[in-house]
Amino acid sequence: MQKKILRWQETIFFIIYLILFPMFTALQYSSDYGKDTFINTFTYLGISKIFDLLPFIIFYKTIIPKFLFTRRYLAFILGLIGFLVAFDLYLHFVTDLVVSKMSFLPKGVAKTAANAYQQHRVPRQSIHYTLMNLAGIIGLAYFVRTIEKEKQVQTLIKQQWKLELNALRDQLHPHFFFNTLNNIYSLALQNSAFTAPVTYKLATMMRYMLYETSVPKVLLSKDIQFIEDYIELERLRLNDHVQVSFDQQGEAEYLEIEPFLLLPFIENAFKHGAEHEVTNGYITVIILIENKELSLQVKNSKPDAGQSGRGEGVGLSNVKKRLEILYPGKYRLYFSETHDSFSIFLNVSLS
């Protein structure tokens, strides 16, 4: 689409700059002409300028990109001189001659062209006028080249972001599976009645991960449901070992979000807040949706009151990178730590 717009801009520029502008510029020299002479000359200029487009387009499409853009300046200067000589011959032997032979034109127009051809005079423009036209064309070429390069850069950036996001997702999936499979393994060793429900829950979650998250964004409601399933799975493993609470406020039905953007924060809460707790442990997850903004608060107890700085882990480190890529300038992320608790607060604009 962008390329098509640029082509239209080029066409409009050539029409205005090389046809209409010279024709209307000639109006200021018409005060000494009679009416018939002026009409003939003006019509002749309009028709001949259409013929004159061809050499300028050739210069625009070949000499500028081949020599000027590649910094072959000597070749460009020689090409410019060659163009000026060839253009003068073209005006005489092509434009003037062809227009003079157009029998369907008014006789005065054909006669004007015939006179220019016979006398080899070009009253429309001199060398310095041709150079002025070429300067405008060179400016246009640089403008279009800058726009196209900027588009290429943006395309490369988007491709790089996509590759990086895919790499981050690939790291997240094994991280989640390893944690959950370890949970199932522990339950199986205990011959727990919860082994089958946990396995079924994992199968449901895997179905979502494999078949519904291959797109850039998913419905926020589905991703929250995935989080609820994850928390329920962890509850089955922990029993009453740790008090787990989850609360969602606000409608998520029509909003979209990057898949698994919230999960790593909750994973880390379970990993660091419940792994070694014996009693009085807790994990609190609150999701608030309001005015197309998502807020997540996760708070968990610390197993060792004297321990500080738990490290980010693979999942949390990855999600911070993803936030920078997907929501630059549209998110806030805070960490808070006391002697017995750790919490995070995330706010993301989904508009």
* 136: in domain: no
* 144: in domain: no
Please answer whether residues 179 and 271 qualify as being in contact, where contact means their C-beta atoms are separated by less than 8 angstroms.
yes
108, 168: one domain: no
96, 220: one domain: no
* 241: in domain: yes
What does the pLDDT look like over 269-280, one tens digit per residue? Answer: 887 776 655 567
Examine the fold and report which residue of 104, 125, 146 is the final residue of a domain before the chain moves on: 125
206, 339: one domain: yes
Across 38-42, 205-209, 287-291, the highest mean pLDDT is recorded for 287-291
99, 209: one domain: no
195, 305: one domain: yes
What are the residues whose beta carbons fall under 8 Å from the beta carbon of 299, sequence distance 6 or more? 269, 282, 283, 284, 341, 342, 343, 344
The size of the chain, in residues, is 351
CATH of the domain at 229: 3.30.565.10
If one counts every other C-beta atom within 10 angstroms of the C-beta of residue 217, the result is 15
* 150: in domain: no
What does the pLDDT look like over 195-242, one tens digit per residue? Answer: 888 888 888 888 887 788 777 789 999 999 999 988 887 787 676 778
Higher pLDDT, 3 or 147: 147
184, 96: one domain: no
pLDDT value for 309: 47
pLDDT value for 122: 43
Residue ranges making up the domain that contains 339: 158-349
Q: What is the DSSP string of 254-273?
A: T-EE-TTSSHHHHHHHHHHH
Q: How far apart are CA 309 and CA 231, in angstroms?
A: 24
Mean pLDDT estimate for the chain: 77
* 138: in domain: no
119, 243: one domain: no
* 192: in domain: yes
Q: How far apart are CA 58 and CA 134, in angstroms?
A: 12
192, 302: one domain: yes
Q: Where are the beta strands (DSSP E) in 170-280?
A: 218-219, 242-249, 256-257
The region that residue 311 occupies, defined by phi over 0 for left and psi between -120 and 50 for alpha, beta otherwise, is left
114, 187: one domain: no
198, 323: one domain: yes
Q: How many domains does the chain have?
A: 2
* 291: in domain: yes
Q: How far apart are CA 80 and CA 318, in angstroms?
A: 55
Look at residue 333 and tell me whether its pLDDT is greater than 90: yes
pLDDT value for 114: 61
92, 213: one domain: no
Look at residue 94 and tell me whether its pLDDT is greater than 80: no
Half-sphere exposure of 147 (CA within 13 A, CB side): 14
The fraction of the chain above a pLDDT of 70, given in percent, is 68
* 131: in domain: no
38, 100: one domain: yes
**Is the full-model pTM beyond 0.85?**
no
